[in-house]
Amino acid sequence: MPLSRTAGAALLTLALASVPVSTAAAGTAAADVNYVALGDSYASGTGAGDYSDVACTRSRNAYPALWADANDPASFTFAACGGATIPDVLGDQVGELDEDTTLVSLSIGGNDSGFASTMLSCQYSTRSACERALKTAGEYVVNELPGELDSLYATVRARAPHAEVVVIGYPYLYEEGGLCLGGLSSAKRTAVNEGSDLLNDTIAGRAEAAGFAFADGRPAFAGHEICTRDAWISGSNIHPTAEGHRSAYLPAFTAAVTGS
């Protein structure tokens, strides 16, 4: 039986707190790692600042770069790009994979399901418009995304047959309940987070079917969503901040790698 949001968040938050970001043993093992980071803006670090590639908003503060800095792998290729969709990953990013690749991280699916347009509807239109946009996105997530993910994951496995692959999920964007000054209404926030559940559960299911690990962003960011006192997601660009990458995504990714 699946855990409730609160119970699941509490358990994984405790687990992540006990996982060191880097140890001497991990550093030694990483000397043989050839790591390729694939995905969209949540992987590239849009909103996290200190960009090494402005066009793709690849940030030195993003979790792939932070993991590489902490573990010193034999090679690190940062291919993730802000705005990427599944076709973009297939066309522009998977070419970085080969038989020598030993570790892959992948965050994708949000843009394919209409993340940007949905958030605009929820931020600037009525509750009914927000819910309609989420319904349209949900229909795509249920009916089309699974097959597209299956195809992508099969391509990743074929191009990197020996790699450990960690699929990274998306966080809840908003704290639910109460007032959120300058933010969405409580009803809209709940609806957006329910959409996040559908997207993440779909991604996690297809990752499991492919034999890939899944790092869940929801418990990783628990207590630090938009509207909290210490938010690790920007209310203006709706992306993780540098602190979000360092304190949420990096430990979640590290735990998935070390726990595999």
Distance CA 42, CA 38 (A): 10
41 is catalytic: yes
Q: Are 20 and 28 in contact (CB under 8 A)?
A: no
pLDDT at site 19: 41
The candidate with the shortest Cα–Cα distance to 39, out of 107, 113, 127, is 107
> pTM of the prediction?
0.86
- Domain spanning 32-258: which superfamily? SGNH hydrolase (3.40.50.1110)
Neighbours of 237 (CB within 10 A): 13
Active-site entry in 44, 59, 107, 239:
239
Distance CA 142, CA 252 (A): 26
Distance CA 69, CA 211 (A): 27
Q: Are 204 and 249 in contact (CB under 8 A)?
A: no
234 is catalytic: no
Active-site entry in 41, 44, 105, 113:
41
pLDDT at site 8: 43
Q: Are 250 and 66 in contact (CB under 8 A)?
A: yes
Given a cut of 70, the residues of the chain with pLDDT beneath it are 1-29, 182, 259-260
The candidate with the shortest Cα–Cα distance to 218, out of 9, 2, 1, 4, is 9
Structure tokens given for 215: 């790092």
User: What tens digit of pLDDT does each residue of 205-237 get?
Assistant: 999 999 999 999 999 999 999 999 999 999 999
Distance CA 155, CA 108 (A): 14
